[in-house]
Amino acid sequence: MKLFDLSLKLKGFPIKEAKRHLKSIQNKNDKDFESYLETKKQDIVAYHLKHNGFYKVFAKQASPKDWNSIPVMTKHDLQHPLQSLLSDGFTTNNIYIDKTSGASGTPFIFSKDKFCHALTWAVIQDRFGWYNIDFNASKQARLYGIPLDRKGYYTEKLKDFISNRSRFNVFDLSDTAFDNWLTKLKTKQLEYINGYTSPIVQFAKYLQRKNIILNTVCKSLRVCIVTSEMLFENDKHLMEVQFGVPVINEYGASELDLIAFQNPNNTWQVNSETLFVEVLDNENNVLPLGEEGRLVITSLYNKSQPFIRYDIGDIGVLSKNSTLKKPILEKLVGRTNDIAILPSGKKAAGLTFYYITKSIIEGDGHVKEFIIKQIKLDTFKIIYVSDKTLSKEKETIIKAEMEHYLEKGLHILFEKQDYLQRSKSGKLKQFSSLIPKNQ
């Protein structure tokens, strides 16, 4: 039984139809694909100009047939109550709703129509299929976090059961925790690792210290797929040596789709089936292939709300070898996360703070941006931009969450600012540690 696909179908996501549609796109020749892409670009703009009140105001000078007239949007532009962003006919009862991770420091709630969300899963399954991974059958070692509230925890555990996933706790990156990871990998006959880059790198370093090659003790392991954070070449080499399997790089954004995925030819193939990816300069001019600029992405299928020429906040380069049907992402700048080292010596992945900062993500958009800095081993500062100061009650909740996820005795400081200092790339780093690496 295809339990994963069945679970999507039961939730109203037409996965079978989405897979058929994806295949029909992939079967187009280059000339037909060019026509398809141009049509989809015009169609999605025309649709939102007709059916979306927010977009009518935001893009009032736009013409579907003149792509240069289409304004670039950012997360900041979309930080409004979700209801005000929805197109005609869509309500919170007939769409997919989620929150961005806030890894860039700019969290918000977004939506997709159900066919668009089904297409997202069709693309993901297609790419994992390049490495003979079947979401309905293959066993996954899942190196992500998990909510610790009762509802969130059991929801994720149910998803794990449906998806053949064994979850590994990335909130604790101690050697004791890694001992348990290794035992679990040995006994569960897991076929692939999927998760955040930084904890997987830490696990590889543990294996190196122990002089262990993972696939010699977990012979079922075939591939490791990393996501959400920058993968550096030296880290990739370390993982491939210590795991004894290929390490595959994924790049995506929850509000959009899977953006790029390392193909079997070792190039980062961009998703051209459901997205249109551009590289722009600071004046929003399209840059030639091979030049570095802002990644701006259009979701070709999301009718629930517009993501049209959406500046994702990353800097990248499209290869000169790119074609319309097969763009290649040559370089990506950003998406790194530090490791937090706590007074007890415990380590935690920087994306641990995604789960903590859920408590400050508000549907009404009060908190616009935030970053977290570790000033001392026991002291963290949350710096945020908001139209009102966090209440003492909210601060108390956040402090409690920090201790719940990490450990007792931490000092949490709060600082409201009018704006946050950005890096050269224009991106905010949600978590950074000022603690020397050798401490």
**Environment class of residue 336 by beta-carbon count within 10 Å: exposed (0-12), middle (13-18) or buried (19+)?**
middle
pLDDT mean across residues, the chain:
88
Q: What is the pLDDT of residue 139?
A: 95
Strands (E), 175-215: 192-196
Q: Are residues 190 and 139 in the same domain?
A: yes
From start to end of 230-334, where are the E strands?
A: 247-253, 257-262, 268-270, 275-280, 292-299, 310-318, 329-333
Contact predicate 275/256, CB 8 Å: yes
Same domain, 354 and 327: no
322: closest CA among 278, 366, 274?
A: 278
The label of the residue with tokens 């998803």 reads: 159
The pLDDT of 375-379, averaged and rounded, is 92
Of 391 and 19, more confident: 19
| Angle at alpha carbon of residue 186, lines to 184 and 192, rounded to 5° | 80
pLDDT value of position 360: 65
Residue 248 phi, psi (nearest 5) = -110, 140
**Pairing between strand 411-417 and 431-433?**
unpaired
- DSSP H helices, 218-362, are 233-243, 352-356
- pLDDT band, residue 424 (cuts 50/70/90): very low
What's the domain count of the chain?
2
> Mean pLDDT, to the nearest integer, of 71-99?
93
Spatial CA neighbour of 43 closest among 325, 304, 301, 256: 301
**Is 18 within a domain?**
yes
**Residue 74 placed within a domain:** yes
Q: Is 424 exposed, middle or buried (0-12, 13-18, 19+ CB in 10 A)?
A: exposed
Tokens of 56: 């009518």
- Can you give the pLDDT at residue 337? 52
Q: What is the pLDDT of residue 425?
A: 35
Q: Is residue 438 part of a domain?
A: no
The predicted pLDDT at position 355 comes to 62
pTM for the structure as a whole: 0.81
pLDDT at 382 over 50: yes
- The strand pairing partners of 16, in sequence order, are none
Q: What percentage of the chain carries pLDDT values higher than 90?
A: 62
Q: Is the pLDDT of residue 191 over 70?
A: yes
Pair (213, 353) in one structural domain: no
pLDDT in tens, 87-137: 999 999 999 998 876 555 566 889 999 999 999 999 999 999 999 999 999
Domain boundary (333, 353, 385) is at 333
Are residues 113 and 97 located together in one domain of the fold?
Answer: yes
- Note whether residue 439 is domain-resident: no
pLDDT band at 336 (very low <50, low <70, confident <90, very high): very low
Query: Which of 119 and 334 is assigned the larger pLDDT?
Result: 119
Whole-number Å distance between alpha carbons of 226 and 247 = 7
Average pLDDT, integer, range 356-368: 62
Query: Last residue of a domain, which of 285, 304, 333?
Result: 333
Q: Which domain holds residue 355?
A: 339-433
Position 358 scores a pLDDT of 60
**Interval 281-320: pLDDT, tens:** 989 999 999 999 999 999 999 999 999 999 988 889 999 9
Q: What pLDDT shows up at residue 366?
A: 74
More confidently predicted of 174 and 67: 67
Q: Which of 333, 356, 375 is the last residue of a domain?
A: 333
Query: To 5 degrees, how large is the angle CA 386–CA 392–CA 393?
Result: 105
User: pLDDT at position 341, please?
Assistant: 86
209 Cβ contact partners less than 8 Å away, ≥ 6 residues apart: none
Angle formed by the axes of helices 3-10 and 15-26, nearest 10°:
110
Q: How confident is the model at residue 238 (pLDDT cuts 50, 70, 90)?
A: very high
pLDDT in the model for residue 426 = 43
Binned at pLDDT 50, 70 and 90, residue 364 comes out as very low
